């Protein structure tokens, strides 16, 4: 086992930390499912590894500053890439 001093220090590397990166990937998967399936928010949350729907909604607000309904209405897809239309 690695001791505390033997763990890699990711904070010195550019880009997101591993935990943040995983959160981004999980959210991107959820966005794709919101656009491509008729699944409920609860089904999408569980399928993408969220503990429950409320954790999924927290990420929606964190990444988009929108409510789930606003986000769902703003999604569109171009060549399998899910995009969010943002009104300024």
CATH code (residue 50) = 1.10.10.60
Per the domain annotation, does 23 fall within a domain? Answer: yes
1-56 residue pLDDT tens: 556 666 666 667 677 778 888 898 999 999 889 888 889 989 999 999 999 999 99
* Chain segment 19-33, per-residue pLDDT in tens: 888 898 999 999 889
Element (H, E) at 27: helix 18-36
Q: Is residue 20 part of a domain?
A: yes
Domain of residue 52, residue span = 16-84
**6 assigned to some structural domain:** no
**Rounded Cα–Cα distance for residues 58 and 56 (Å):** 5
pTM over 0.85: no
* End-to-end Cα separation, the chain, in angstroms: 50
Cβ distance 36 to 44 under 8 Å? Answer: no
Count of structural domains, the chain: 1
């Amino acid at each position: 086992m690695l001791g505390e001093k033997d763990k890699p220090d990711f904070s010195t590397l550019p880009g997101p930390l591993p935990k943040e990166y995983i959160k981004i990937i999980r959210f991107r998967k959820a966005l794709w499912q919101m656009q491509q399936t008729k699944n409920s928010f609860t089904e999408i949350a569980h399928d993408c590894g969220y503990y429950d729907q409320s954790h999924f909604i927290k990420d929606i607000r964190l990444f988009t500053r929108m409510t789930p309904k606003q986000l769902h209405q703003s999604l569109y897809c171009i060549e399998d890439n899910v995009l969010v239309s943002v009104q300024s």
